[in-house]
Chain A
Amino acid sequence: MATIRVQSEDFDAAAEVDALIAGRRDVGAVVTFVGLCRDEGGRLAALELEHYPGMAEEEIGRVVAEAEARWPLMGAAVIHRSGRIAPGERIVFVATASAHRAAAFAAADFLMDYLKTRAPFWKKEHPADSGAGGWVAAKDDDDRAAERWAR
């Protein structure tokens, strides 16, 4: 049973890993990824994360289910924050647990690539110079990264 949450508050990555492996003796590898808000060389004051409530959780669930179908996972967690996030703050958390590291690494990589292109979240930039912010454009690189997993 995967942990999937969209929340405005911060998360505790260590506590999430503890929860993922609590009571288990078969897990040999946990891979975690934490995505952070950059200041883009001082240009950015904050990011505003908008999401589609309901669908965001459901779509993350579909992506996790696909990862579970591809790799022998013993647990997975995805936490994505919404709302205003300042540089240095955490945005997203992905953790995968498996018997061996190869599956855990691959599944975490896959989850991030698919989250970026399929989970309904949008980033708006609030610039440090109080000028007009703008919506972050989707990157072709992210599409290509997700396409690596096509089969």
Chain B
Amino acid sequence: MKAVYFAWVRERIGKPEEEIAPPASVATAGDLIAWLAGRGEEYAYAFEQPKTIRVAIDRTHVKHGAAIAGAREIAFFPPMTGG
């Protein structure tokens, strides 16, 4: 699946998107945040406050408990500040 990052999540990780292949034990969006946080210093920094991170699966907002099975694109970003 493709992971995409925005705003300071993108800046901290240092890339806008990447292909990821989490193990089967990673079932939810929250699991995926925890798994990503373990991938290195930059990821640990981006996800140091997991509850702050918003997630969208295939361009729709989801809660951290949402299943990621079948997702093509999962986005991680801070709370939104548009308007």
Contact = CB atoms under 8 A, between A and B. Distances in A.
Nearest to B11: A135
Nearest to A54: B59
Interface of B: 4, 6-8, 56, 59-61, 75, 77-83
Contact of A92 (B56, B60, B77, B82): B82
Contacts of B60: 55, 58
A107 interface: no
A91 B80 CA distance: 15
Contacts of B4: 52
B14 to A, nearest CB: 15
B82 A51 contact: yes
Where chain A touches its partner, the secondary structure class is: mixed
A144 to B, nearest CB: 13
A101 interface: no
A80 B78 contact: no
Contact of A116 (B8, B61, B83): B83
Question: Which of the four size classes fits the interface of chain A?
Answer: 20 to 34
Interface string A43-71: 00000011110110011000000000000
A3 interface: no
Contact of A138 (B56, B59, B80): B80
Nearest to B58: A55
A119 B83 contact: yes
B83 A50 contact: no
A121 B78 CA distance: 10
A45 B12 CA distance: 23
A22 interface: no
A123 interface: yes
A112 interface: yes
Chain A CB within 10 Å, residue with most, of B77, B78, B82: B82
B6 A120 contact: yes
